[in-house]
Amino acid sequence: MTVNNSDTGSKSSRGSKFIKDIGIYAIGNIGSKLITFMMAPMYTYFVHDTSHFGYYENCLQVCLLLIPFVTLMLRDGAFRFLLDSDNDTQRQRIVTFVSHTLLSTLSLSVLVTIALALFTNIQYLGYVLMLLVAMSLQEVYSQVFRGLGNNRAFVAVGIISALGIGVFSILFVAGLGWGIKGIFLSNILARILALVCVEAKVHLITRNTRWHIDFGEVTHDILRYTLPLLPGSLCWWLTGSSDRFFISHFLGLDVNGVYAIAVRFTGVISTISIIFYQAWQETAIMQYNSPDRNRFFSKMFNSYIFLMSGILVGYVFMLKVNYGWLVADAYSESLNYIYPLGLSAVVFAVVAFFDMGYQCAKDTKRILPAITLAAAVNVTLNFLLIKPLGIYGVITTILVTYLVLVIYRWFDMKRYFILKFSPRTLIPIAVMLLSGLPFYFSHSAWIDLAYMAAALAVIACSCGKEIRDMLVSKITKTHGLTK
């Protein structure tokens, strides 16, 4: 995609679009994730056996493993190619191809599940299938809405889905006492309901799906983009989700349930990084061929480090102060894992920033070497560290794996863009690392709050006026957003 000066526009308009996108995705993600965040404490009080929640978490991770293969990574391909499409016929070809492929792969998934049910006795197998189908449809069609330029529909799916999970969880888990069966049903029904409600309003899928249209010309291009992502998705799963199975095997499902709650809470940090990523994804793709790309990308990168460091410090200490009443006693040990998991979420956010080069250049095949290396490091370290260090062995493995990816990507990204690392950015990095001391050794809420305030002040004062003004503008200018 070529972007000339007229397409790129002024720096101010470029910044305004990014601010606008940040606000749009913030509304969708924060609104939806806030409800998901609120469900975690409720689950700890109504799913009394931590091993039950550990089993559900494993089922969820299996779905996350299978989704890329069931959908053939069409969520990425649909968004990327719809963003480039310039006429209705091309958009109809892409959406029809996506719908046709999803129908085929999900039908095959049902047949495979029936065969498994005949020869095995896997608990909640039917629920796992329904969750896989619901998550696959939401993953892909949410990106179709986004690729077609309707960010409001994309946001609405997330909000309605989260609201549905909240309402159904209160009904099934708290009200009827159905345990993890209720969690399954809440997630399944909410995701399907969200898609149906939004599509009934916007008609984007039905309007752009033409079952008799010839979509052969887009099939090759999209699959050439998405299929190289499949091995990478497996490696990503090994890197980021296989830890649940190592914990279940070596330490037990009950420990996995406690660990899963810690992951749920630190997921708030990941959510914020996703907000940035989604807005940055559109901006980066459109600005990739601009003449000042390196300077612009560098400015965003350094600002991102300051933003994420402040969020990490503020969040983990506020969470620590309130953790006693947020979770039931059976899950209270999960607090010990919050800080290092939050730190790993920040490191992963940096990895995701670097990934943008592959998407901008449509060079997805280059993703595989680094993530294969990371997966090998992850699996090896889990085997070596989990027995002597327990959960901390798993967390150490995650941090080391992501750091390996950061180092690899830093050098590999130079073929797409060159980032200039500001010396000022060392300050928030140092603050993040030093925050572990008061987090673990302070037993006073007042000391924790005082440290948090001091650390945030240091980060804010050290970022410099340009970065500070940009971050403040992104927070304060989101109230007048439109689609």
| DSSP string of 12-39, one letter each residue | HHHHHHHHHHHHHHHHHHHHHHHHHHHH
- Among 355, 347, 217, 215, smallest CA distance to 285 is for 355
Cβ-proximal residues to 443 (8 Å cutoff; 6+ apart), any chain? none
Share of residues in the chain with pLDDT > 70 (%): 88
First-to-last CA distance in the chain?
Answer: 23
Whether the pLDDT of residue 5 is over 60: the answer is no
121 sits in the region (left: phi over 0; alpha: psi -120 to 50; else beta) called beta
- Residues 342-357, mean pLDDT to the nearest whole number: 88
Residue position matching structure tokens 């047949």: 111
Q: Which residue has the higher pLDDT, 479 or 216?
A: 216
CA distance 84 to 86: 6
pLDDT for residue 114: 95
Share of residues in the chain with pLDDT > 90 (%): 44
- Residues 108-122, mean pLDDT to the nearest whole number: 92
125 lies in some domain: no
Q: Which residue has the higher pLDDT, 428 or 368?
A: 428
341 lies in some domain: yes
Give CA torsion, residues 71, 75, 76, 79, to 10 deg: 140
Whether the pLDDT of residue 451 is over 50: the answer is yes
Instruction: For residue 285, give both structure tokens.
Output: 């793709």
21 lies in some domain: no
Q: Which residue has the higher pLDDT, 471 or 36?
A: 36
- Residues 227-251, mean pLDDT to the nearest whole number: 84
Q: Name the pLDDT band for 289 (thresholds 50, 70, 90).
A: confident
Domain assignment of residue 347, given as a range: 231-483
Q: Name the pLDDT band for 429 (thresholds 50, 70, 90).
A: very high
Q: Do residues 306 and 457 touch, judged by C-beta distance below 8 A?
A: no
Q: Name the pLDDT band for 33 (thresholds 50, 70, 90).
A: low
Whether the pLDDT of residue 238 is over 60: the answer is yes
**Tens-place pLDDT, residues 46-105:** 988 888 888 998 999 999 999 999 999 998 888 888 888 878 888 999 999 999 999 999
Q: Do residues 44 and 330 touch, judged by C-beta distance below 8 A?
A: yes
CA distance 248 to 31: 32
CA distance 75 to 290: 26
2-11, 101-110, 435-444: the lowest-pLDDT one: 2-11
366 lies in some domain: yes
361 lies in some domain: yes
Q: Do residues 478 and 26 touch, judged by C-beta distance below 8 A?
A: yes
- Residues 463-471, mean pLDDT to the nearest whole number: 65
- Residues 30-59, mean pLDDT to the nearest whole number: 80
**Tens-place pLDDT, residues 405-416:** 999 988 888 888
391 lies in some domain: yes
Q: Name the pLDDT band for 37 (thresholds 50, 70, 90).
A: low
**Tens-place pLDDT, residues 371-414:** 888 889 999 999 999 989 999 999 999 999 999 999 998 888 88
30 lies in some domain: no
Whether the pLDDT of residue 278 is over 80: the answer is no
pLDDT for residue 20: 56
Question: Which amino acid, one-letter code, is at 316?
Answer: V
153 lies in some domain: no
- Residues 177-205, mean pLDDT to the nearest whole number: 94
Three-state secondary structure string covering 326-376: HCCHHHHHHHHHHHHHHHHHHHHHHHHHHHHHHHHCCCHHHHHHHHHHHHH
CA distance 139 to 195: 10
Whether the pLDDT of residue 10 is over 90: the answer is no
pLDDT for residue 2: 38
Cβ-proximal residues to 153 (8 Å cutoff; 6+ apart), any chain? 145, 146, 198, 201, 202, 204
Q: Do residues 353 and 304 touch, judged by C-beta distance below 8 A?
A: yes
Cβ-proximal residues to 419 (8 Å cutoff; 6+ apart), any chain? 294, 297, 298, 301, 410, 413
Instruction: For residue 329, give both structure tokens.
Output: 């006693």
CA distance 440 to 147: 44
Per the prediction, the chain carries an average pLDDT of 85
- Among 234, 242, 235, smallest CA distance to 394 is for 242
What total of structural domains would you count in the chain? Answer: 1
